[in-house]
Structure formats: structure tokens, C-alpha cells
A and B are shown apart, each in its own frame.
Chain A
Amino acid sequence: EADIYQTPRYLVIGTGKKITLECSQTMGHDKMYWYQQDPGMELHLIHYSYGVNSTEKGDLSSESTVSRIRTEHFPLTLESARPSHTSQYLCASSAGTIEKLFFGSGTQLSVL
């Protein structure tokens, strides 16, 4: 069973606030990802990491930043939240060459 955890599950915050979405996995996976999804839309890759101290931007431009200081931890930060950042953020991890991503339960972010 996959063990990947995201906190918080829901976050309502005012414009201009700095936020960090947490993601941790206990499987020792080297690859981790952040996807963003709006209702009825595709999951869009916004950040990924293939290992410690390795981070890359994904296919969808995002104002968020990520860090990968430890294998198990891949937090996402928004320095100044805006209403356009309202979305669901899904963290995932995988191991091996062929992707079978294990997803966390997601963080539903609402910026007022």
C-alpha cells in the first residue's frame, strides 16, 4: 500500500499570504511530482524531482516553488497567494522507469 501524505487537506486563505503545502512519502521513492487540477480538467504537472537537490518545472507554468532536501519530503510554497491559485494540488511519487504514480489525497486550496 502506498504511503504518501499531504497536509493540509483543505486550506482557505486570504490573498497575499505565504503558504506551504506539505508532502511526504515513506516508500523511499526517488521521483516526486506536484500536479494541479481544476474541476473537470486534466491533471497538469507543475513541478517534479528525480532526487534530492533536484527540482524541475513541469509543463504548466506555476508561480509556486518546491524544494527536495530529503528524499521523503517535497513541499510546495506559494510566496503570495492569489485567487487564481485556487485549485486542487496533488502530490505523487514513483520508483522505476515505467510510471505508476502513487498519489496523496490532495490539498484543496481556496484563496479569497
Chain B
Amino acid sequence: DQQVKQNSPSLSVQEGRISILNCDYTNSMFDYFLWYKKYPAEGPTFLISISSIKDKNEDGRFTVFLNKSAKHLSLHIVPSQPGDSAVYFCAANSGGSNYKLTFGKGTLLTVNP
């Protein structure tokens, strides 16, 4: 049973516009969430994270929003650039002595020039 769900396998946006990637989770014990970016033939790289005590975290063009009541988070990229084209993975952790991450299936973002 998937605990972290990314229901959109792909997303295509125009350069300069906003990209919104969505993620839902089912496990109430998750209290820390991360986004990773992956280019083909490379390993994922950490992008941005958010703790459950916050509802927003911003880093440059990237903002993550967390809605705990809906068990939903989203990644906003503004403005989108062609170099942002990659697979984006949502991941969650339940903290404490658990150092493991649970990943979603990823969303392929294509930013068209």
C-alpha cells in the first residue's frame, strides 16, 4: 500500500510559468517531508524540505506547502526554467529514531522553452 502518492506521472509547463507538483500521504506519523530531483542516469538530489510544524518553506524559486489536515503537500517552482526538467520525488519520514524515507513514484516535469 502506497503511503506517499504522486498521482500525476507527468507535467508539462511553459518556461517562465509556475510548476505545481502535488503529493499526498496516508501515514499520520509522517512529520518531515522532502522533495528530491532526479535527472536521467543520475541519483536523486535533495531540493527542499518541510517539517510538520510549518506550513510553508521557501528557497529561491522553490516553495513547498504543507496541508496537514488534508495530508497534502505541493512544490511550486516559479518561474520554471528548462533546466528544471527532471523527475521530482516526494518523500516522507516519521522522525524519532526512524531514519528511513518513504518515496512516491515521482512526477516527470518538462519545461518547454
Contacts and interface: CB of A to CB of B under 8 A. Distances in A.
Interface residues of B, number: 24
B42 A106 contact: yes
A58 B90 CA distance: 19
Contacts of B41: 9, 105-106, 108
Interface in B2-57: 2, 4, 9, 32, 34, 36, 41-46, 49
B101 interface: yes
Nearest to A41: B105
A108 B43 CA distance: 11
Q: How large is the interface on A (under 10, 10 to 19, 20 to 34, 35 or more residues)?
A: 20 to 34
A103 B44 contact: yes
Interface string A79-99: 000000000001010100111
Interface of A: 4, 6, 9, 31, 33, 35, 40-45, 48, 50, 58-59, 90, 92, 94, 97-106, 108
Interface of B: 2, 4, 9, 32, 34, 36, 41-46, 49, 89, 93, 95, 99-106
